[in-house]
Structure 1
C-alpha cells in the first residue's frame, strides 16, 4: 500500500529513497516535509520518494485512485486498517478499479477526547502547507516529461474521501495551495470528493466560505451525514466549550443548500450509521452490519466512483436518504 504522510519519522527528516521508515509516535507535531512511502504486507515501511511514488501509481493496474484522509485520534496502524478494509471492499466489487492511497497526518494519542480534539484540530491546520506542497509536486510531475517519456500521460482519475476531521485537513490544504502556489484558483483535479461525517462547520462549503475550494477542485462533492453521530456530538461539545457555536457538516449537511455550488450532493445516513458503527455511528462508510461485507454507504460511494455520477437516474436530483 502506497501512502503520503507528514508525520515525523525516527531519525533524519531528509528523504532517502529505499530506507526503512519508522514513525516516531512520540512526536505528533506536523512536519513541514512530506514523505512518500510504501507499506508492505508484513508491515515494513519503505520511503520511495515522490517521483517513484507517482510513477508507481501511474503504472498500477488500477483504473483510478482514491486519496483517503482519516479523522482525528488515529495512529498510523489505525489508518492502515481502515484503508485496507476499504481496499478489500473495492476489490470485492471490481478488481483493479480503485486503489486506496492513505494520507496520514499527525494525531494525538493522549488520554481524554477533548484534549485530543483540540491538539488534532491544530495539527490538521498545520498540516495544510506540507500537503499543499505534495499537490504542487503532483502537478509539476504530471506536466513534465518525467511523467510522459513515451507519450503516455497519466490518465487515472483521482478521487478523495475525507472522514471526520480529515475534512478540515482537506479544506485547509486547498486554501493553502490556493493562497501560496496558484494564480487563478484551484484546478479541477478530483472526479469525486466524498465528505463523510465531516467535522467542519455546516456552512463551510457555501459559495462565500473557505471550503468552496473543495467544490472548485471537484466534479462532484458528496456529503454524507447523520444527526445521531455521537463522535460529532463530542466535537460540538468541545467547540461550544471554546465558544464556537456551529453545527457540524457531518451532523446536518450544508446549512443552506441554496448557497452551495450546484455540484454538491447530500446523503442522509441517519437510518443506518449506528447499526454499522455501534455505538458511535461515526465510521459508517466501509463495512455494513457484517465486517467485510459492504454497507449501503460504501455501495453508494463505489457507484459514484465507478460511474462518475451521484444520481445517474436523475441528473437534477441533489439529495437522498440511504436505507437498507
Structure 2
C-alpha cells in the first residue's frame, strides 16, 4: 500500500523538514511526498480541538528528493540490477521525484496478480493543505481499507485552493486549477515516458493492474485544463475508470466544440458522471460566476454525441446522506461521495468494473442513464 501526495504548493521548512504550505500560491511543477502511516492512530476529540492538530500531526509525510537527472533510465538500471540482468552501483535510494514514485508503484503492483489498483484523486476548491491531509485519511478508509475495493494505492493531487467556499474565492481557485492542470499534463507525459523506457526491456513485464481517476467539484476544471492541452494524437488509453463527482464545469464539456472531455473516451475505458440536481454549491457556482452555463454535476451532459457506450450518468439526487449529518453535507448536497453509503457503494462497483446494468440499487432511465435511490 502506498499513498503519494503530488502538490504544486509552495514548500517551506518546518521543524527542519520540507513541508507543503497552506498558502494559496501555485507553482509550475508538482513535488511528490510519500505518506507514512506507521504508528498512525485515530485522533481523539480532544486532539482534534488542539491548535497544533495540523500538518504532520494529522498525517506524516516525506517530500521526495528531486531526481538527479531527467528520464527513467536510472529506474531501468535499478530494476535490471534487482533482476540480476546487469550490474550497477545504483539503488532505489538514488531515485527521486516521479522516478521513485513510479518505481515503488511498479514494484508493489507487480508483486501480486490480485487487484492492486491506483486511484488518482483530484480534490475541489475550498481546501487548504491541512484539510487535504484529512481528506487523504478519509479516502484511505473508503478505498484502501475497504476489502470490497480494488484500490491499494492513492495519488492525491494537491493544488492550492482557497480555504473558503464562498464566491469571492472562486476565480482565484479557477485560475489555480488551470495552472495545476498543466502540471497534471506533465505528469501524464512523464508516465508515458516511464512506460516506454521501462518496458523497452523485454524481461520487465507490465503489472497488468489498473489506474483510475476521480475528480470532485472544481477538480474537474483541473482535469479539463489538462485535456485542453493534450493533443489527440498523443493520447494513450492508460486509464480504466474516470469518475466525475459534482463536476463544476459546463454541461457542454462533452461536445465536440469544447475539445476537452470529449477526449476522455480516448484516455479511459469508461467514464461515469454523478449528478445531483439539488447540489446547492453548484447552483451558487452557476448563478453567481457561470451565468448561462449549467454545471455538469447538476444537469448532466448536454449531449452524449457518439460516445454513449463509454459514458454513463448516475443521478443520485434522492440518495440519503446517512454517513455525515452536519449542515454542510445535508444542505449542500455537494459531497455525497463522503456522506452517502449508496454513492460510495456505487463508486466501488464502478471501480470493480461491474457491468453498468448489473450494479445494485440503480434504475435504468435511458441510454447509459441511471437513477440511484
TM range (shorter): 0.7 to 0.9
Task: Report Cα offsets for 1:25-58 as digits up to 9, x if no partner.
Answer: 23x2221121121122352321221111111122
Aligned counterpart in structure 2 of residue 56 of structure 1, from 80, 104, 108: 104
Given that 2:216 and 2:247 are in contact with CA atoms closer than 8 Å, whether structure 1 keeps it comes out as yes
| Residue 85 (structure 1) aligned with residue 85 (structure 2) | no
Q: What are the ranges of 5 or more consecutive residues in structure 1 without an aligned counterpart?
A: 12-18, 289-294
Cα deviation, 1:269-292, whole Å, max 9, x if unaligned, reads 10026566212111111343xxxx
TM normalised by structure 2 equals: 0.73
Asked if the contact 2:242–2:271 (Cα under 8 Å) also holds between the matched residues in 1, the reply is yes
Q: Which has the larger radius of gyration?
A: 2
Identify the match of residue 344 of structure 2 among 287, 295, 298: 298
Residue 286, structure 1, aligned to residue 335, structure 2: no
Would the aligned equivalents of 2:275 and 2:299 in 1 still touch at CA under 8 Å? yes
Count of matched residue pairs: 300
Q: Once the 2 structures are TM-superposed, how far is the Cα of residue 2 of structure 1 from its aligned partner?
A: 1.1
Task: Quote the Cα distance in structure 2 between the aligned partners of 1:310 and 1:230.
Answer: 28
Question: Which residue number corresponds to residue 9 of structure 1?
Answer: 11
How has the CA–CA distance of structure 1 residues 96 and 189 changed in structure 2, closer, same or farther, with 3 Å as cutoff? Answer: closer
Structure 2 gaps, min length 5: 41-58, 65-96, 110-114, 324-328
Greater CA drift, 112-121 or 156-165: 112-121
The 5 Å alignment of 1:1-150 reads 1-10=3-12, 20-26=17-23, 28-41=24-37, 43-48=59-64, 49-60=97-108, 63-90=116-143, 91-94=145-148, 97-109=151-163, 113-145=166-198, 150=203
Structure 1 residues 6 and 310: alpha-carbon distance in aligned structure 2, compared to 1, 3 A threshold: farther
Moved more, 167-176 or 58-67: 58-67
Which shifted more, 89-98 or 1-10? Answer: 89-98
Secondary structure class of the residue paired with 2:106:
helix
Is this contact kept in 2: 1:265–1:318, CA < 8 A? Answer: yes
Q: Deviations over 1:222-269 (max 9, x none)?
A: 0001111011111112224xxx41110000111123565531100001
> Per the alignment, do residues 175 and 159 of structure 1 end up closer, same or farther by CA in structure 2, a change over 3 Å counting?
same
Give, in whole Å, the separation in 1 of the partners of 2:306 and 2:202: 44
Tell me, what secondary structure is at the counterpart of 2:352? helix
Correspondence for 1:246 among 268, 293, 299: 293
- Compute the TM-score of the two structures, normalised by the length of structure 1: 0.84
Asked if the contact 1:220/1:264 (under 8 Å) is kept, the reply is yes
Distance 1:214 1:283 in 2: 23
1:322 partnered with 2:372:
yes
User: Which of 142, 153, 166 is 2:206 aligned to?
Assistant: 153
Deviation of the 1:67 alpha carbon: 0.4
Residue 237 of structure 1 aligns with which residue?
287
Range moving further from structure 2, 145-154 or 82-91 = 145-154
For residues 193 and 321 of structure 1, the distance between their equivalents in structure 2, rounded to whole angstroms, comes to 19
1:16 maps to none
Match of 1:186 in 2: 235
In 2, Cα distance between equivalents of 1:95 and 1:186: 27
Please tell me whether the aligned partners of residues 7 and 31 of structure 2 are also in contact (alpha carbons under 8 angstroms).
yes
8 Å contact from structure 2 (residues 308, 368) kept in 1: no
Aligned equivalents of 1:92, 1:301: Cα separation in 2: 12
More strand by share: 2
Instruction: Calculate the aligned-residue CA RMSD, in Å.
Output: 2.5
Structure 1 residues 188-221: Cα deviation after superposition (integer angstroms, max 9, x where no partner): 1210100000000001112332221223211111
Q: CA deviation at 1:126?
A: 1.4
Return closer, same or farther for 1:220/1:69 CA change in 2, 3 Å cut-off: same
